[in-house]
Amino acid sequence: MSTKDLDAAGITDPALRVAYERCRELHSGHGKTYYLATLLLPRAKRPHVWALYGFARYADEFVDSLVDPDPLALVRWGDEFLDRLEPDPTRPAGVDPRTDAVGAAMEHTMRRWGIPRAHVEAFLESMRMDITETGYPTYADLERYMYGSAAVIGLQMLPVLEPTTPEAAPRARALGEAFQMSNFIRDVGEDLKRGRVYLPQEDMALFGVSTADLAAGQVTLPVRRLLQFEIERTRALYAYAEPGIDMLDPTSRDCMRTAFELYGGILGAVERADYQVLTQRVSVSMPRRLSVAGPGLVRAFRARSRAGRSQDATEAPAAVEATDEVRTPGPGRGA
């Protein structure tokens, strides 16, 4: 499948094609909900989404791996990547795909779509926060973290999705935050294993919930009310972000509509599981995923046909597995 996508994107360099394939493997293996949604994009756009997701996931794993975290490697790799973006007559230009496949694909995508370096700097800064920060006193503090870990993922995606108005930018930022808040709510128990709590401490205090209460694994009435509060806040983010989908090129809308509905579905899945997120991981069922994605595939094909790109046929997503490990929108922790 990736060969035709890379051809459509005009990516011909053999080493760079291998780099993009590495990003595709990261995306399909760890971000199955979002990967499913990106099958609704034109072929020429898909590899660039793989690069954005692969970069975020690769960085995130340095600090989020439960088996072999390596925070110092994150700092070293991130600094080396940013350094390679700067022109230097004393060395070959760009990131070498033979030594940093993920970085090479990311750099190529950044140049192709004009993605600002500042977005990547903000993302890496938030990833570094995960090395030392274990909690966030206020929602405003969490928002500062989410700007780099989620909002800028939405902003990185935006050029690829081809917005039709500048107003799409704040909607994309909000959608990145909504995706991440959905993950934070779903992953409370899993994040506790990493020594972190992303629910704001001021919210926990409001409902009389401590970190010890969460670690006890019992969904008490105060815990349930806390989660209900965070779900309501996150749905408000989705409501603000939704009009932004129609501010994108028609060939991008079905991808983002599908991602919107599937990620938003995480909140409903948490409610149906009676908020049991402390000792288990809830997910949107595969039948539900396919019921959302299937009609989107038809609409996406029609949109590309109207745009003169009917050769961009999309494969059926039946092989996508039922689990999901999206930490960024995209998002790493977003996206």
Reference 10, options 52, 54, 47; nearest CA is: 47
Instruction: Please give the pLDDT value at position 220.
Output: 98
What value does the mean pLDDT take over residues 129-133?
93
In the numeric block, which tokens belong to residue 122?
A: 């903000």
What domains appear along the chain, each with residue ranges and CATH number? 2-306 (1.10.600.10)
Q: CA–CA distance from 42 to each of 60, 130, 133, 255, 307 (Å)?
A: 27, 35, 39, 10, 11
- pLDDT tens string 153-189: 999 999 999 999 999 999 999 999 999 999 999 999 9
* Nearest alpha carbon to residue 32 among 300, 293, 303, 257: 293
Residue tagged 């996206």 (tokens): 335
Q: Tokens for 176?
A: 């990145």
**Is the separation of the CB atoms in 201 and 277 below 8 Å?**
no
Distance CA 231, CA 47 (A): 32
Dist. CA 177–CA 62, nearest whole Å = 22
pLDDT at 305: 59
For 70-129, the pLDDT digits (tens) are 889 999 999 999 998 876 655 556 777 888 999 999 999 999 999 999 999 999 999 999
Higher pLDDT, 202 or 94: 202
Q: What is the mean pLDDT of residues 16-35?
A: 89
Q: Tell me the H-state helices in 194-249.
A: 201-206, 211-215, 221-241
CA 115 – CA 161 distance, rounded (Å): 12
Using N-to-C axis directions, what is the helix angle for 139-146 and 168-186, rounded to 10°?
Answer: 110
**Confidence (pTM):** 0.84
Q: What is the pLDDT of residue 19?
A: 95
325 contacts 30 by C-beta, under 8 angstroms: yes
pLDDT classification of 229: cutoffs 50, 70, 90: very high
Judged against a pLDDT cut of 80, whether residue 306 lies above it is answered with: no
What is residue 334's predicted lDDT score, i.e. its pLDDT?
Answer: 39
Q: Please state the rounded mean pLDDT for residues 253-276.
A: 94
> What pLDDT does residue 216 have?
97
Q: How confident is the model at residue 255 (pLDDT cuts 50, 70, 90)?
A: very high
202-224 mean pLDDT: 97
Contact between residue 152 and residue 123 where contact means Cβ atoms under 8 Å apart: yes
Contact 244, 156 (CB under 8 A): no
pLDDT digits (tens, 9 = 90+) for 149-159: 999 999 999 99
User: Would the pLDDT of 324 be above 70?
Assistant: no
Q: Dihedral angle at the C-alpha atoms of 21, 257, 10, 50, nearest 10 degrees?
A: -20
The predicted pLDDT at position 288 comes to 62
Amino acid at 275: Y
The whole-number pLDDT of residue 68 equals: 75
Quote the percentage of the chain above a pLDDT of 70: 82
- pLDDT of 257 strictly over 70: yes
Band (204; pLDDT cuts 50, 70, 90): very high
Q: Report the alpha-carbon distance of residue 298 to residue 276 in Å, rounded.
A: 35
| Better-scored residue on pLDDT, 327 or 4 | 4
